[in-house]
Amino acid sequence: MIDLHCHTLHSDGTDTPEALALLGDQAKLSALCLTDHDTLGGIPDFLAMQPRVKVRLLVGTELSCHFLGRSLHVLGLLVDPADARFQGRLQELRLRREDRNRRMILRLTELGCPITLDDVQAHSDTPLLSRVHFAKALATRGFVRRAPEAFERLIGDDCPGFVPRQELSPLEATRWIREAGGVPVVAHPGRFAGGGFPWDDAMVDLQAQGIEGLEGYYGEYRASEQAYFVRLATRLDMVVTGGSDYHGAHKPGLRLGTGRGGLKVPDDLLDRLETRQKLGTYR
Answer whether residue 163 is part of any domain: no
Looking at the fold, whether 235 and 188 belong to one and the same domain comes out as: yes
SS (H, E, C) the chain: CEECCECCCCCCCCCCHHHHHHHHHHCCCCEEEECCECCCCCHHHHHCCHHHCCCEEEEEEEEEEEECCEEEEEEEECCCCCCHHHHHHHHHHHHHHHHHHHHHHHHHHHCCCCCCHHHHHCCCCCCCCCHHHHHHHHHHCCCCCCHHHHHHHHHCCCCCCCCCCCCECHHHHHHHHHHCCCEEEECCHHHCCCCCCCHHHHHHHHHHCCCCEEEEEECCCCHHHHHHHHHHHHHCCCEEEEECCECHHHCCCCECCCECCCCCECCHHHHHHHHHHHHHCCC
Is residue 213 within 8 A of residue 187, CB to CB? The reply is no
- Taking the C-alpha atoms of residue 23 and residue 7, their distance in angstroms, rounded to an integer, is 12
Looking at the fold, whether 47 and 131 belong to one and the same domain comes out as: no
SS (H, E, C) 215-281: EEEECCCCHHHHHHHHHHHHHCCCEEEEECCECHHHCCCCECCCECCCCCECCHHHHHHHHHHHHHC
Answer whether residue 162 is part of any domain: no
- pTM of the complete model: 0.86
Is residue 7 within 8 A of residue 33, CB to CB? The reply is no
User: How many structural domains are present in the chain?
Assistant: 2
Domain boundary pick from 155, 182, 198 = 155
CA 123 to each of CA 39, 47, 133, 200, 221: distance values in angstroms, whole numbers, following the listed order: 18, 25, 6, 40, 29
In DSSP terms, 76 is beta-bridged to 61, 184
Looking at the fold, whether 70 and 202 belong to one and the same domain comes out as: yes
Looking at the fold, whether 27 and 139 belong to one and the same domain comes out as: no
Rg of the chain in Å (alpha carbons)? 18
Q: Which residues of the chain have pLDDT under 70?
A: 193-195, 280-283
Q: What is the pLDDT of residue 274?
A: 95
Looking at the fold, whether 178 and 272 belong to one and the same domain comes out as: yes
Looking at the fold, whether 190 and 272 belong to one and the same domain comes out as: yes
Q: What is the pLDDT of residue 164?
A: 82
Domain that holds residue 214: 2-83+169-280
Looking at the fold, whether 183 and 150 belong to one and the same domain comes out as: no
Provide the 10 A C-beta neighbour count for residue 186.
28
Looking at the fold, whether 198 and 247 belong to one and the same domain comes out as: yes
Q: What is the pLDDT of residue 283?
A: 46
Answer whether residue 164 is part of any domain: no
Looking at the fold, whether 116 and 255 belong to one and the same domain comes out as: no
Q: What is the pLDDT of residue 11?
A: 87
Is residue 36 within 8 A of residue 61, CB to CB? The reply is yes
Looking at the fold, whether 69 and 113 belong to one and the same domain comes out as: no
Instruction: Look up the CATH number of the domain holding residue 123.
Output: 1.10.150.650
- Taking the C-alpha atoms of residue 30 and residue 11, their distance in angstroms, rounded to an integer, is 24
Looking at the fold, whether 44 and 115 belong to one and the same domain comes out as: no
CA 103 to each of CA 123, 162, 174, 238, 278: distance values in angstroms, whole numbers, following the listed order: 19, 9, 28, 38, 41
Q: What is the pLDDT of residue 10?
A: 92
Looking at the fold, whether 126 and 208 belong to one and the same domain comes out as: no
Answer whether residue 117 is part of any domain: yes
Instruction: Look up the CATH number of the domain holding residue 61.
Output: 3.20.20.140
